[in-house]
Copies of this chain bind each other. A is one copy, B any other.
Amino acid sequence: MFVPAIKGQGTEEQQQKWLPLAYKFQIIGCYAQTELGHGSNVQGLETTATFDPKTDEFVIHSPTLTSSKWWPGGLGKASTHAVVYARLITEGKDYGIHGFIVQLRSLEDHSPLPGVTLGDIGGKFGSGAYNSMDNGVLRFDHVRIPRDQMLMRLSQVTREGKYVHSNVPKQLLYSTMVFVRQSIVADASKALSRAVCIAVRYSAIRKQFGAQVGGPETQVLNYKTQQSRLFPLLASAYAFRFVGDWLKWLYTDVTQKLEAKDFSTLQEVHACTAGLKAVTTSATSDAIEECRKLCGGHGYLNSSGLPELFAVYVPACTYEGDNVVLLLQVAKILMKTVSQLTSGKPPVGTMAYMGNAQHLMQCRCAVSTGFFERSPDVVEAAVAHIQLIIVTKFIEKLQQDIPGHGVKEQLQNLCNVYALYLLHKHLGDFLVTGCITPKQGALASEQLGKLYAQVRPNAVALVDAFNYTDHYLGSALGRYDGNVYPALYEEAWKDPLNETVVPEGYHEYLRPLLKQQLKLSRL
């Protein structure tokens, strides 16, 4: 994250100086923004960078405990440098948050430089995963850096201490944010399809109960209760893949527009990427855990691959913009768009549909006043808007040529499953607004049941199509060859506890207990 910050906010000279160093490993850099007391509200960060015109330096300082930098990955033990975000103070005035390149550790012996306190912030969710990352804590005690280590692409401080803006438009920074968030959407599809692949394959192997006691048992995948939980997730994996592909295109498109100083679609693009990031990551987190539960008890074993997939994935709901905060931003843009419908400026892109809503045109609504009071409702509206985008992009995908005999039909089934599953999930909203009748609601549920029956024969093929290797899946339950039970059994014996037959501690603790020689007071 060091590199994009310099690319996005550094001047050309700064890029020429620092990027080769970072690329060639002569420094290890991290992106130090969040603090112990501030995450989402970047403007509330407390670290200060006060300009000292006497020495032409910035003094970086952590004035409070809550201003300690907290969370940056790679900071705790590895980084030699950081891009530190701090309040720029010059001529006694606070100009808000800016980025500064700060050296943290000696390049000779890796010890923290004077005035720099560094450490790891401790254990995290899961047994592996992010625990191999040294998320760090960082405090500054009046650390001085040269003035030219302020990232000066957008604004500068002169030798005399004057704060001046450059003529580079601020909007250019959005490009990096759009890039990062579109890659998160792509990752959501990847993580979800991984979990779904494991759950579908194991559900085809696992058998429980049967039509009659003592008779052959039924594949769990044949149970309607299993299908109704699993197939919407399978459909979601495909839906997120297609909307992710489209988002890649959108990123290229907006980057070109930004370079041509065309900012007309920026707000809509921001709503798209922020909203899709929030909706796909929340849905994927929940879905991975649901897939784990759909694997029964064995899903709780690390050898299923699912516990770690979950623990590694869930931070996506929080990093790069907390999902609720992002949805509130989307909601705000939606409200603004609705309130401008009568202004003659038609909504663009994924919001164009609003222009068709004649009755919305009537409302010059005073939405802004009640906005925070009604925030849970407008968040739901934002989610609905994003779900509409996902369904639309799925449908658009199906309007293209899709190679392979019968593939389009299968995708059509999944598209219908995804859309009807959303309708079923949010039935109340559809009914309360009169969009559909209760009878239509019941028909939709019935149709969903029929679609599950059509997906069933192709379910395994639809996850095989993700083309994940067993090595990548890392799951005894999700093996391509279906030899689940030998794999689980074999994995078990690899546990370090099985290195000895009689466990360590038997002679010291267990035996005295069994022989009643252990004093009860020691228990």
How many copies of this chain does the complex contain?
Answer: 2
Q: Which of A214-255 contact B (CB under 8 A)?
A: 214, 217, 223-225, 228
- Digitize A189-232: 1 where CB-to-B-CB distance is under 8 Å, 0 elsewhere: 00000000000000000011110011001000001110010000
CB neighbours of A516 from chain B (8 A): 24-26
Q: Which residues from B are CB-within-8-Å of A510? A: 28, 78, 110
Bound-state CA distance A210–B208 (Å) is 54
Complex Cα distance, B44 from A210, in Å, reads 9
Distance of A206 from chain B, by nearest CB (Å): 8
Distance in angstroms from A370 CB to nearest chain B CB is 11
Q: How far is the CA of A184 from the CA of B271 in the complex (A)?
A: 44
B-contacting residues, A100-134, CB 8 Å? 107, 109-112, 118-127, 130-131, 134
User: What 0/1 readout, one digit per residue, does chain A (363-379) give for beta carbons within 8 Å of chain B?
Assistant: 00000000011111101
Q: Which residues 479-494 of A sit at the B interface, judged by CB distance below 8 A?
A: 485-486, 488-489, 491-494
Contact partner of A427 (CB less than 8 A), chosen from B37, B68, B217, B431, is B431
Q: Is A4 an interface residue (CB 8 A)?
A: no
Tell me, yes or no, whether A48 is within 8 Å of chain B by CB. no
Q: In whole angstroms, what is the CA distance A85 to B431 when docked?
A: 51
Q: A40-B209, A65-B489, A307-B126 are in contact. Are A225 and B324 (CB under 8 A)?
A: yes
Q: Is the CB of A208 within 8 A of B44?
A: yes
Q: Does A13 contact B (CB under 8 A)?
A: no
Chain B residues near A307: list those with CB within 8 A.
Answer: 124-126, 311
CA A118 – CA B503 in complex, angstroms? Answer: 11
Residues of chain B lying within 8 A (CB to CB) of residue A376: 224-225, 228, 449
Name the interface residues of A320-365: CB closer than 8 Å to any CB of B: 322, 324, 328
Known: A120-B492, A441-B428. A514 touches B26 (CB 8 A): yes
Q: Mark A83-103, 1 if CB is under 8 A from B, else 0.
A: 000000000000000000000
Residues of B within 8 A of A110 (CB): 502-503, 506, 510-511
Judging by beta carbons under 8 Å apart, are B300 and A125 in contact? Answer: yes
Interface residue A412 (Cβ < 8 Å from any Cβ of B): no
B497 touching A66, Cβ below 8 Å: no
Known: A224-B376, A225-B379. A492 touches B121 (CB 8 A): yes
Cβ-based interface call for A318 (8 A): yes
Inter-chain contact B431/A438, CB cutoff 8 Å: yes
Q: A442 is contacted by which of B78, B109, B432 (Cβ under 8 Å)?
A: B432
Size of interface on A: residues with Cβ below 8 Å to B: 113
- A39 at the binding interface (Cβ < 8 Å): yes
- Quick check: which of A52-60, A289-297, A392-400, A463-471 contacts chain B, the rest being far away? A289-297
Determine how close the nearest CB of chain B comes to the CB of A161; give it in whole angstroms: 21
8 Å CB interface, A144-192 against B? none
Partner of A319, one of B26, B297, B429: B297
A488 touches B36 (CB 8 A): yes
Q: Which residues of B contact A112 (CB under 8 A)?
A: 501
Task: Choose from B125, B426, B511 the contact partner of A302 (Cβ within 8 Å).
Answer: B125
Q: In the bound complex, do residue A120 and residue B297 qualify as a contact, i.e. CB atoms below 8 Å apart? A: no
A25 lies within 8 A of B514 (CB): yes
A426 touches which of B318, B428, B493 (Cβ 8 Å): B428
Q: Does A413 contact B (CB under 8 A)?
A: no
Tell me the minimal C-beta distance from A113 to chain B in angstroms.
12
Evaluate whether A303 and B426 lie within 8 angstroms (CB atoms) in the complex, with A76-B497, A110-B502, A502-B110 already known: no
| A464 smallest CB distance to B (angstroms) | 23
Counting CB contacts under 8 A, is A314 at the interface? yes
What residues of chain A have their CB less than 8 Å away from a CB belonging to chain B? Answer: 24-28, 34, 36-41, 43-44, 65-66, 68, 71, 76-78, 80, 107, 109-112, 118-127, 130-131, 134, 137, 207-210, 213-214, 217, 223-225, 228, 289, 293, 296-297, 299-303, 307, 311, 314-315, 317-319, 322, 324, 328, 372-377, 379, 424, 426-434, 438, 441-442, 445, 449, 485-486, 488-489, 491-495, 497-498, 501-503, 506, 510-511, 513-514, 516
14 other A-B residue contacts (CB within 8 Å) besides A223-B375, A427-B428: A25-B516, A34-B297, A39-B296, A39-B297, A41-B217, A43-B213, A110-B506, A111-B502, A119-B497, A120-B497, A121-B492, A123-B302, A297-B315, A432-B438
